[in-house]
């Protein structure tokens, strides 16, 4: 009997020591993980992709009701502003009708000029529709997880869009999910062209709502309200996609307000230009 209680005490003691050491041990492992994340190892990316793929059905199941509740709320909100909305749409319609006339004229002119120069159009763009099923939520990363992956033809580096404009680029691709790094993320760098004069720059996120324009040539005459579109200097990224407008200029700090509402993403399009030859199977072209 005494022997047994001795053994019990000893087991208990070792358990206490293990418990005492557990926290420091796990803290060291956490610090190592932070270091590994910094080294940007492929293992980390694989683990992220695997967890995302695994959780995708659960997240998708939760995302749909959340989206329908949100659209219900928006519907009710809309009822209260019907009059104002109508007024605004009338004005918009008026303005857009004028634009339509301009666009028709330009399309005709464009067709004539193309015929003159025997211009061969680029490959049609490929678009994949996807629903946002998760977002980073934290204060230090800006990305969204969508429910389309490699099996749908999504590849790294493709552009994520909404109807309004670019939201970011595809950073990680799983079998059934893909992660889009938003324009506003700290690690986002996208080549862009600014204004009518077409100055090249890099759009860099800093976790705020309005990303920065970097590497603008000295003496460039960028103004508030200038349009920003993708540059397409890199082969994968389609050029001339709308990104946003210059929102503020403060000395060397130029900020861009994205056209897409990055805070309210439900459905996105993933656009790919020129890579259709390498895609696994034919996809429906956008035009």
Partner 1 sequence: MRLTFFQRDTDTVNRLIPLLSCLAALVLSVVPLHVPGLAVVTPAFALMAVYHWTVYRPDLLSPSGLFVLGVALDLLGGTPYLGVSALTFLATRSLVLLGRRRAVNRPFAIVWAGFLVIAAFAIGLQWAITSAASMSALSPRPFIFQAVVTVAAYPIADYLLAQLQRGLLRRV
Kindly list the residues in this chain that would bind partner 1 in the complex (CB under 8 A). 19, 22-23, 26-27, 29-34, 36-38, 44, 47-48, 51-52, 55, 58-59, 62-63, 66-67, 69-70, 73, 132-145, 171-172, 179, 186-187, 206-209, 262-266
Tokens matching residue 43: 């293992």
145 vs 270, beta carbon nearer partner 1: 145
Q: In this complex, which beta carbon is closest to partner 1, that of residue 178 or of residue 246?
A: 178
In the bound complex, what is the minimum distance in angstroms from residue 202's beta carbon to partner 1?
16
DSSP state of 1: -
Choose between 130 and 273: whose C-beta lies nearer to partner 1. Answer: 130
Give strand pairing partners of 173.
178
Residues contacting residue 211 through CB under 8 Å, at least 6 positions apart: 183, 184, 188, 203, 204, 205, 255, 256, 258
Task: Decide whether 31 or 107 has the Cβ nearer to partner 1.
Answer: 31
Residue number, 3 or 84, with CB nearest to partner 1 = 84
- CB of residue 156 to partner 1, shortest distance in Å: 14
Cα–Cα nearest to 157, from 235, 212, 243: 235
Least Å distance, CB 52 to partner 1, is 7
As beta bridge partners, residue 166 has: 161
Q: What's the rounded Cα separation, in Å, for the pair 27 and 11?
A: 25
Tokens at residue 72, please?
């219900």
Smallest distance, Å, CB 234 to partner 1? 21
- The nearest distance, CB 83 to partner 1, in angstroms, is 21
Distance CA 23, CA 143 (A): 31
Q: How far is the CB of 108 from partner 1 (least distance, A)?
A: 42
Cβ nearer to partner 1, comparing 49 with 192: 49
Burial readout 234-246 (b: 16 or more C-beta within 10 A, e: otherwise):
eebbbbebbbbbb
CB of 253 to partner 1, least distance (A): 13
Q: How far is CA 270 from the centre of its chain?
A: 9
Return the number of the residue (152 or 172) whose C-beta is nearest partner 1: 172
Which residue, 52 or 230, is less far from partner 1 as judged by CB?
52
Residue 27 gets the label, from left (phi > 0), alpha (psi -120 to 50) or beta, of: alpha
How many CB atoms neighbour CB 66 within 10 A? 11
- Tell me how far, at minimum, the Cβ of 172 lies from partner 1, in Å: 7
Q: Which residues, at least 6 apart from 155, have a Cβ–Cβ distance to it below 8 Å? A: 170, 173, 272, 275, 279
Cα-Cα end-to-end distance for the chain: 85
């Amino acid at each position: 009997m005494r022997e047994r209680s001795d053994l019990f005490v000893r087991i208990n003691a070792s358990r206490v020591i293990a418990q005492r050491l557990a926290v420091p041990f796990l803290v060291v492992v956490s610090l190592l993980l932070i270091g590994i994340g910094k080294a940007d190892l492929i293992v980390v990316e694989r683990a992220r992709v695997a967890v995302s793929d695994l959780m995708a059905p659960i997240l998708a199941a939760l995302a749909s009701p959340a989206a329908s509740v949100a659209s219900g709320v928006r519907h009710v909100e809309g009822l209260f502003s019907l009059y104002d909305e109508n007024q605004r749409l009338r004005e918009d319609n008026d303005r857009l009708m004028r634009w339509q006339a301009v666009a028709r004229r330009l399309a005709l002119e464009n067709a004539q000029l193309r015929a003159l120069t025997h211009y061969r159009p680029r490959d049609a763009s490929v678009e994949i529709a996807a629903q946002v099923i998760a977002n980073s939520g934290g204060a230090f990363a800006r990305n969204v997880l969508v429910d389309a992956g490699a099996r749908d033809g999504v590849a790294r580096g493709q552009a994520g869009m909404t109807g309004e404009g670019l939201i970011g680029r595809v950073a990680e691709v799983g079998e059934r999910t893909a992660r889009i790094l938003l324009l506003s993320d700290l690690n986002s760098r996208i080549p862009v062209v600014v204004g009518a004069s077409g100055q090249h720059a890099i759009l860099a996120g800093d976790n705020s709502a309005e990303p920065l324009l970097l590497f603008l040539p000295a003496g460039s005459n960028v103004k508030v309200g200038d349009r920003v579109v993708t540059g397409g200097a890199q082969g994968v990224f389609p050029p001339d996609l709308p990104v946003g407008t210059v929102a503020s200029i403060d000395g060397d700090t130029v900020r861009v307000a994205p056209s897409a509402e990055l805070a309210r993403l439900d459905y996105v399009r993933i656009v790919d230009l020129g890579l259709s030859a390498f895609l696994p199977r034919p996809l429906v072209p956008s035009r």
